[in-house]
Chain A
Amino acid sequence: MTALLDVQDLTVRFAMPRPSFFAPRPYLEAVRQVSFRLEAGHALGIVGESGSGKTTTAMAAIRLVEAASGKVVFDGQDLLQLSDEDMRQRRRDVQLIFQDPYSSLNPRARVADIVREPMDLMEIGTADERHDRVEELFKLVGLRPDQLSLFPHQFSGGQRQRISIARALTTNPRLLVCDEPVSALDVAIQAQILNLLARLKTELNLSYLFISHDLGVVRHVCDDVAVMYLGKIVEMGSRDALFDNPQHPYTQALLAAAPSLARRKSRGYVRPLKISGDPPSPLNPPKGCAFADRCPRVQDVCRQVQPELETVSSHQAACHFPGPVNHA
């Protein structure tokens, strides 16, 4: 199967202020040589803590953040090489849903105009066709056409996220980047939006690049999962492989940390795998494995040599001592 999106060695650097007038300019490497493939009709989840570079990776892949190096092959074409105008035309294939449904909708525009705007900008169809399309999308995401002339503040958080989804779908995109689309919502509403996203994926054969820190949500939505830590992918594989047979100690720690109904205080649940502390600063990344300082399996080699992604059992992990939880 050919990949819809094939990202190779993507690196993103942010320039930092010079410490003094003559000092060289320091750079922060937010994303370090990240490679992944997303098949058409699939959902790839990117999980990690805040600061792990998951949003920057996705934004660089759709050229909303400038990449320092690497390739992003979308449908056979390297997006990073396109001219600005060609990229603008490609944008109809790639749309985005933001985390915060409160700040990502223009408070002064009526929602019909918000949803129609991408078509106006791309000059798709006649005015009547655009209007019909907006109505059709409204029904598709579970809103009523009589709500078209309302303003964003007249909707609840879940409804606003539906508006964002409708807006993202106007140009018939093939790839939807979802940046924490449900983390600002209550659990009951979260389920509504997740079900909607799952339904749209099958009905419209959409592909998702799905960014989340909630492993339960990712498990529910995604076919494949990549775990990021300090700008690198540390483990990647199919959903089942990754959740049932995690190899990297960081993935295992993430899974142990995620709250679950099966872990009961009444039954004396004690977390088997604890990690302490915070991730190291990306301004000054360690020479070896970035997870070494928090890792229960750390050895000397981990602090010296950076592990690369290698095939371990059914998927890929970047660890010198991969293995199931009780291995070490």
Chain B
Amino acid sequence: MALLEIENLNVTFNTRHGKVTALDSVSMHVNAGETLGVVGESGCGKSITALSVMGLIPMPPGRIAGGEIRLNGENLVTASDARMRQLRGAEVAMIFQEPMTSLNPVFTVGDQIAEAIMLHQNVSADRAFKDAVALLDRVGIPSPDSRARNYPHQLSGGMRQRVMIAMAVSCRPKVLIADEPTTALDVTVQAQIFDLLNEIQRDFGAAIIMITHDMGAISEMADRVAVMYAGRVIEEARADDVLDTPQHPYARGLISCIPALGKDDTELREIPGVVPPLHMLGAGCAFADRCDYAQERCRREKPALVNHGHHPAACHAVEEGRI
């Protein structure tokens, strides 16, 4: 049994365009000590997947319409609010995209980390603050004693993200969700954060779900990858398989459209068009309008995520051997 299993998760939102399906039968799992990369363009549902696991989908307008999220066999979808509060932070923790806006500006970072520790462990405020300082040291913040007494605005972007990581790992969660943890950061700082996350995984044995739109980040961080498009998982496999032999035309496009270092194409392969809005999804494959291989069947029938020889991909063209 995997540590965290998401099975046929359906999430809908009520919008002014009516009810839209943000997640459509999403299934994925992550084992202890493993990093699962979830990759896709904005609006593909990768953050909604993360928020569902954390029990942070705003309801209403959101609703988990079906499916299960099992942590060690316990279904989080049906768990009570009180139980979710116990689990959140202690068993599953999340690192958000924007370290500037997810830290409280009027408390020192040491106090904020200590608060997370005191919520879940029965320790004194003094003890918790000392633990917070130790954590800041662990995530590589120089002179952690004085930094713990700083407010978020006194820290650089990279240091704020380190504080977020320290807070997230403060109770040694089994699952750590990192939602685009480095998008607001410079490449050198991004590299430091990647290295830190990998180190923390080695030390704590946590499972990491890494949400990103960057295939380069996937390559450096992930053991397995789930590629999402318009609320569905369209390909899932070991990172090497997806990066070396992508099956779904969207996954192929995502990889070949990166202007990579050491790649001398005169023209980048582009994926034409844009992601369709969720309220305008038809009966067929959501990628059909942007796909070179789309045929009549693709517009009529949603492809299922099935292994067609290499690894699971949701594509009729792959199934029929047309690619």
- Which residues of chain A have a CB within 8 Å of any CB of chain B? 49-50, 156, 158-159, 186-192, 194-195, 198, 213-217, 219-221, 243, 253-266, 269, 271, 274-278
Contacts and interface: CB of A to CB of B under 8 A. Distances in A.
Interface string B132-143: 000000001010
A257 B217 CA distance: 11
B81 interface: no
Nearest to B241: A266
A140 B142 CA distance: 52
Contacts of B223: 265-266
What are the 5 closest A-B residue pairs judged by CB atoms, nearest first? Answer: A259-B216, A257-B191, A220-B259, A191-B257, A188-B271
A214 B258 CA distance: 11
Contacts of A257: 187-188, 190-191
Interface residues of B, number: 51
Contacts of A217: 259
Given A188-B271, A219-B259, A264 B187 contact: no
Interface in B208-261: 213-217, 219-223, 238-240, 243, 253-255, 257-261
A140 B189 CA distance: 38
Contacts of A274: 191-192, 195
Nearest to B222: A265
Interface stretch (B62-70, B89-97, B262-270): B262-270
Interface in B190-214: 190-192, 194-195, 198, 213-214
Interface centre among B240, B262, B266 (most CB of A within 10 A): B262
24 contacts: A49-B188, A158-B274, A186-B42, A190-B257, A190-B259, A191-B258, A216-B259, A219-B261, A221-B259, A259-B187, A259-B216, A259-B219, A260-B261, A261-B219, A261-B255, A261-B258, A262-B219, A262-B262, A264-B239, A264-B240, A265-B221, A274-B191, A277-B142, A278-B156
A261 B187 contact: no
Contacts of A188: 41, 253-254, 257, 270-271
A238 to B, nearest CB: 14
Contact of B140 (A216, A220, A258, A276): A276
B158 interface: yes
A191 B271 contact: yes
A259 B217 contact: yes
B21 interface: no
A180 to B, nearest CB: 12
Contacts of A258: 187, 216, 261
Contacts of B255: 261
B157 to A, nearest CB: 8
Interface of B: 35, 41-42, 140, 142, 156-159, 186-192, 194-195, 198, 213-217, 219-223, 238-240, 243, 253-255, 257-262, 265-272, 274
A186 B259 CA distance: 13
A194 B258 contact: no
B88 to A, nearest CB: 27
Contacts of B243: 261, 264
Contacts of A186: 41-42, 213
B240 A187 contact: no
Contact of A271 (B195, B265, B268): B195
B158 A278 contact: yes
Contacts of A254: 187-188
Contacts of B140: 276
Given A186-B42, A265-B220, A215 B261 contact: yes
Contacts of B261: 215-216, 219, 243, 255, 258, 260
Nearest to B142: A277
Contacts of B158: 278
Given A191-B257, A259-B194, A259-B216, 9 more contacts: A158-B274, A195-B267, A214-B259, A216-B260, A216-B261, A259-B214, A262-B219, A265-B220, A271-B195
A190 B262 CA distance: 18
A276 to B, nearest CB: 7
Interface centre among A50, A188, A190, A277 (most CB of B within 10 A): A188
Contacts of A190: 257, 259
A52 to B, nearest CB: 9
Contacts of B262: 243, 260, 262
Nearest to A49: B186
Given A258-B187, A264-B240, A266-B223, A191 B35 contact: no
A187 B258 CA distance: 7
A158 B26 CA distance: 28
A313 B159 CA distance: 37
Contact of A259 (B190, B240, B270): B190
A168 B215 CA distance: 31
Contacts of B189: 49, 278
Contacts of B270: 188, 191-192, 195
A244 to B, nearest CB: 9
B219 A260 contact: yes
B219 A263 contact: yes
A214 B198 CA distance: 23
A157 B240 CA distance: 31
A250 to B, nearest CB: 9
B180 to A, nearest CB: 12
Contacts of B195: 271, 274
Contacts of B221: 265
A50 B158 CA distance: 12
